[in-house]
Each structure stands twice: as C-alpha cells, then as structure tokens.
Amino acid sequence: MNNEKLDISVVIPLLNEAESLTELSEWIIRVLENDKKSFEIIFIDDGSTDNSWEIIENLKEKFPQIRGIKFRRNYGKSAALQVGFEACRGDVVFTMDADLQDDPDELPELYKMIVEQDYDIVSGWKKVRHDPVLSKNIPSKFYNFVVRKMTKIKLHDMNCGLKAYKNRVVKSIEVYGDMHRFIPVLAKWAGFKKIGEKVVHHRERKYGRTKFGLERFIRGPLDLMSVMFISKFGKRPMHFFGVLGTIVFFIGFAISLYLGINKLVAVNRGIVIERITQNPFFYLALVSMIIGTLLFLTGFLGELISRSANDRNVYLIDKKI
C-alpha cells in the first residue's frame, strides 16, 4: 500500500449517488489542483444498489487521485467515515456528502483555517439551507440548540457533512452507530478542543433524494445520550451507577427505617396501627432498595469490564521531549 503523505484527503461516503459522482469528482479535482495541493479522494460506497461503484472504477482510471472502498452491504454513514478515516493519508482531512449539496469551492478556506489558524476541527455551517422547512430546517435548529447546551460546543450546525480535521483527530476517534452526527463531541472528549466554524454555501439537491428519514429524530437523541454518557462515565461507570444506586437505596432504606421506628413506637405506647406490609410505602421502600442494589452492582460490573477492556491503557499523548 502507498503510504505517501499528502496535503489533503477528501473522504466521501455515498449510497446510490451515481448521477453526481463524476461532476463532484471533477469539481473537487479542479479546485484542489488550482490550489496546488497534493490530495486524494476516497469514495466509500456504503452498499449502493445502483452503478455507483462502476462509476468510481471508471473515475479511478481517469484520475489517479481517486480511491474507492466498497462495502458488501449498507452499514451506515458512521461506518463509512470510520473506514475512510483509517485509510486517509492527508495532513488535513475533509468530509463531505456525495449529493453535490456541499460546495467544493469551500475547501481551500477550510484548509487555511486548519493549517494557518491551527484549528483541530472546522465545521461547516449551512446558515442558508435549501431543505424542506418543516421536515429538516426547524428540527435541525432545535436539535443543534439542544446539542450546544448539553455539550458546550458552540456550533450552529453539528450535523453538517462538510468538515475539516487535522489528521491526528480522525486517527484518534472511533465513529460507530450513528455517531457521525457527534464527531466534534467525540473529538472534544479525546482532547481536541479547538473547534471552529465557517459559514458555507449549501446547494439545492440536484440528483436523487435524501437517504435520511424520520428515524433520525429517534436515533439522534439516543445517540446524543450515548455520547454524553460515554464521554463522562465511559471509564468510570461506578461514578454514575454507584452514586445513583446509593441514593435510590438510601431513599428506600430511610422509608423502611421510618416505618419500623413508627411501628415500634406505636407498639410501645399500646397504639394499634396497620401492619407495615399493609402500608404502600413499604413496597416503595422495598423496590427502591432492590433497584439501588441493582444499580450499584451494574456500576461494579461496568468497572470490571472497563478495567479489563483492551483499550484501558490507550492514552493520547500530545508531545514528547
């Protein structure tokens, strides 16, 4: 395999985008050759059922800068990006969509922000979107607002496909599930905190139709919760489950203690009251103590798994003397 270092890698995941690949390739090559940069374009065919792969093969014969990776089936955008990140050789790595809605003319300015301003990541901001208002624009704005508040990363368009990264950023993170929406969050967790933003031109879709349906509104929040939990407690699950379990157990224990003392005081004074087992708070206390114990054990088992995981001693070292 050729391990020659390059200035730029452009990683493009795609699914059934045969109509746009030739135009997109020629556009990117024209922009980067005019900018006099060494580069490669890596297409990751995520199980297309049209003739996208045949077009990539033909483009490879015409343009030596093009590389292609084809999945046997559809694994999703995150898997495609992860494989592309593993294969890329550029000092600066771009990601963009294959549908021609991302503008290749933005690449030189994004490159300068990484190289000259020393950003770890620069994310595109589609300030003016050419998407349906109700199904995409409004949900996207609400989603980005929530993510900004939860992650403290001040990006207006977290899910923009057009992004630029330092090479060491993409080599230091793992993208899976639907985590491609939260790569800046994963990068910040890995220690890359200089994250910038640039307003980019968003083009109307020229060919085909969008590959994302209503299920993204379900997956997105679930993946956000996963990212937030992993980033804070992935290496110390006892700090979450142990503390929560202790609090829940203590609530149940306190209720049980109160019921027991109240019963003893009543018997001592000759007062007839209902049995403890007839009081609904008894069952609430019992359930609370059981749940608290289970949460504590979950944290304990999580600690054991975390300590025995293969990556327990993987730390990102920034510099050495």
Q: Encode pLDDT of 208-249 as tens digits.
A: 666 555 566 666 677 777 777 776 776 678 888 889 999 999
Q: pLDDT confidence of 275, banded at 50, 70, 90?
A: confident
Q: How far apart are CA 202 and CA 24, in angstroms?
A: 14
pLDDT for residue 306 is more than 70: no
179, with CB counted inside 10 A (0-12, 13-18, 19+), is buried
Instruction: Work out the percent of the chain whose per-residue pLDDT is above 90.
Output: 51
pLDDT for residue 311 is more than 80: no
pLDDT for residue 192 is more than 90: yes
**DSSP bridge partners of 124:** 198
pLDDT, position 225: 75
pLDDT, position 137: 65
Mean pLDDT of the chain: 85
Q: How far apart are CA 257 and CA 266, in angstroms?
A: 14
Compute the chain's Rg from CA coordinates.
26
CATH number of 6-233: 3.90.550.10
- pLDDT tens profile 18-46: 999 999 999 999 999 999 999 999 999 99
Give yes or no for a contact between 157 and 126, defined as CB atoms under 8 angstroms apart: yes
Q: Give the closest residue to 163 by CA, choosing from 221, 84, 231, 106.
A: 106
pLDDT for residue 263 is more than 50: yes
- pLDDT tens profile 218-229: 666 777 777 777
pLDDT, position 315: 47
The three-state DSSP-derived secondary structure of 247-261 is: HHHHHHHHHHHHHHH
The set of residues, in sequence order, having a beta carbon less than 8 Å from that of 276 and lying 6+ positions away, is 259, 260, 263, 282
Strands, E, within the chain: which ranges? 6-14, 39-45, 66-70, 90-95, 121-125, 163-166, 195-199
Q: How far apart are CA 317 and CA 281, in angstroms?
A: 53
The set of residues, in sequence order, having a beta carbon less than 8 Å from that of 78 and lying 6+ positions away, is 175, 176, 177, 178, 179, 180
- pLDDT tens profile 124-178: 998 887 666 555 667 777 777 877 887 788 888 888 889 999 999 999 998 887 7
